């Protein structure tokens, strides 16, 4: 990519005060990007402490609070950046355990708003900015193993993660001519706050997660750093011919 070489490349990672997003920010900072940490304002202390930690290590880091499900907030967050080279739409919420036979759809709207609309808005405003810059870019989203295969009790969450794969393909198809690639990662079980919260949410959820680990080829839980390594590659110059893909990072659960 022929870029503006006067300023450092910028990578924005949503939902990065915690877990996988935080590990991605750390890795992209060490790859040489000026990193922008995004999260909800209630995570202010964590996000700002993280930015300070990165700055103390000599990295360029800043924090922007925005709810990824809010059109105007995502638009102004992206527009406030001097430049944008890598957008990682990572933020999501996990829906409570739910089944098709439940007599309610609690959690459906919020899960779709944050996970799917959140990805749409991040992809959209990143694409608009990258096209205007004129040198291309990388857009990376977060699907899941349950965006590839069903698991009991994951109905709503799984539906959002399947939809993110479709959104990724559609955006990749539209944006290739602008030298913008769009891919997403599909983690299996990764040791983050979200996974710990889910496992603690009910005995059913904990049992389900243990079954997942037993079914993997690599018999350990994944770490956020495993996903960060993949994102680092997808963001790199060398990944310029990969687009529209959902890349599994699951210790060998789904073989495609």
Ligand X SMILES: NC(=O)c1ccc[n+]([C@@H]2O[C@H](COP(=O)([O-])OP(=O)(O)OC[C@H]3O[C@@H](n4cnc5c(N)ncnc54)[C@H](O)[C@@H]3O)[C@@H](O)[C@H]2O)c1
Residue 48 makes CB contacts below 8 A (sequence gap 6+) with 63
39, 18 contact by CB (below 8 A): yes
188, 249 contact by CB (below 8 A): yes
State the DSSP H helix or E strand holding residue 61, giving kind and residue range, or none if neither. strand 61-65
> Using the rule CB under 6 A, is 194 a contact of ligand X?
yes
The token duo for 107 is: 């959690």
Distance CA 175, CA 173 (A): 6
Which residue in the list 161, 173, 198, 214 is annotated as catalytic? Answer: 161
> Using the rule CB under 6 A, is 156 a contact of ligand X?
no
Q: Among 51, 92, 130, 159, which residue sits at the site for ligand X (rule: CB under 6 A)?
A: 92
Tell me how many residues contact ligand X (CB under 6 A).
28
Residues 28-57 touching ligand X, rule: CB under 6 A, are 39-40, 43
161 catalytically annotated? yes
Query: Residue 28, exposed/middle/buried by CB under 10 A (0-12, 13-18, 19+)?
Result: buried
117 catalytically annotated? no
* Least distance in angstroms from the C-beta of 7 to ligand X: 25
Which residue in the list 157, 173, 185, 198 is annotated as catalytic? Answer: 157
> Using the rule CB under 6 A, is 168 a contact of ligand X?
no
246, 10 contact by CB (below 8 A): no
Stretch in the footprint of ligand X (CB under 6 A) among 18-26, 127-135, 175-183, 229-237: 18-26
Binding site for ligand X (CB under 6 A): 14-15, 17-21, 39-40, 43, 67-69, 90-93, 114, 118, 142, 144, 187, 189-190, 192-195
> Which of the residues are catalytic?
157, 161
């Amino acid at each position: 990519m022929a870029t503006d070489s006067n300023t450092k490349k910028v990578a924005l990672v949503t939902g990065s005060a915690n877990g996988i997003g935080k590990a991605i920010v750390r890795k992209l900072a060490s790859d040489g990007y000026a990193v922008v940490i995004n999260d909800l304002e209630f995570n202010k202390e964590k996000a700002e402490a993280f930015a300070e930690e990165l700055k103390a290590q000599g990295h360029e880091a800043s924090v922007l609070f925005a709810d990824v499900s809010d059109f105007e907030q995502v638009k102004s967050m992206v527009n406030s950046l001097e430049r944008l080279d890598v957008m990682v739409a990572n933020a999501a919420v996990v829906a409570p355990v739910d089944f098709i036979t439940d007599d309610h759809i609690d959690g459906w709207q919020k899960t779709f708003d944050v996970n799917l609309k959140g990805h749409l808005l991040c992809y959209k405003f990143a694409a608009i900015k990258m096209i205007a810059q004129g040198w291309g870019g990388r857009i990376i989203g977060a699907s899941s193993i349950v965006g590839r295969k069903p698991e009991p009790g994951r109905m709503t969450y799984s539906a959002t993660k399947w939809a993110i794969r479709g959104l990724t393909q559609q955006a990749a198809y539209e944006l290739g001519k602008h030298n913008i690639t769009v891919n997403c990662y599909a983690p299996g079980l990764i040791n983050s706050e979200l996974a710990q919260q889910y496992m603690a949410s009910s005995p059913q959820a904990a049992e389900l997660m243990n079954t997942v680990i037993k079914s993997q080829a690599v018999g350990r839980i994944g770490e956020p750093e495993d996903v960060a390594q993949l994102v680092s590659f997808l963001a790199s110059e060398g990944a310029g011919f990969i687009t529209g893909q959902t890349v599994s990072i699951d210790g060998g659960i789904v073989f495609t």
